[in-house]
Structure 1
Amino acid sequence: MDPEPRPAADIPSAADRATATDLIAAVEDALAAAQAAAPTAPAASFRDPVPAPAGPVGDALPVPQPGRPPMSQRATDASVVMLAAGAGTLMAGTGAGVALWALAGVDPVTLALAAGAPVAVVAALTRLVRRAGQAAQQAAPVTHHHTYAGPVTQTHTHRTHTQARGMFARSTTDARH
Structure 2
Amino acid sequence: MSTDPQYPGLTDSQASAEASRLIREAYQQAPEPQFVTSFRDRSELPVIGDTPPVPQPDSRIVPQWAAGVAVASIGVGAGVTGLGCGAWLVLQGLASVTLLGVLTVTLPLAGLAAVITAAGSAVARARSATTTNIYRGTVVQRTEVTATARGMLSRAKAGR
Name the TM-score, length of structure 1 as normaliser.
0.25
* Structure with max Cα Rg: 2
With a CA cutoff of 8 Å and minimum separation of 6, indicate the structure with the bigger relative contact order: 1
- TM-score for both structures, normalised by structure 2: 0.27
Which structure is higher in strand share? Answer: 1
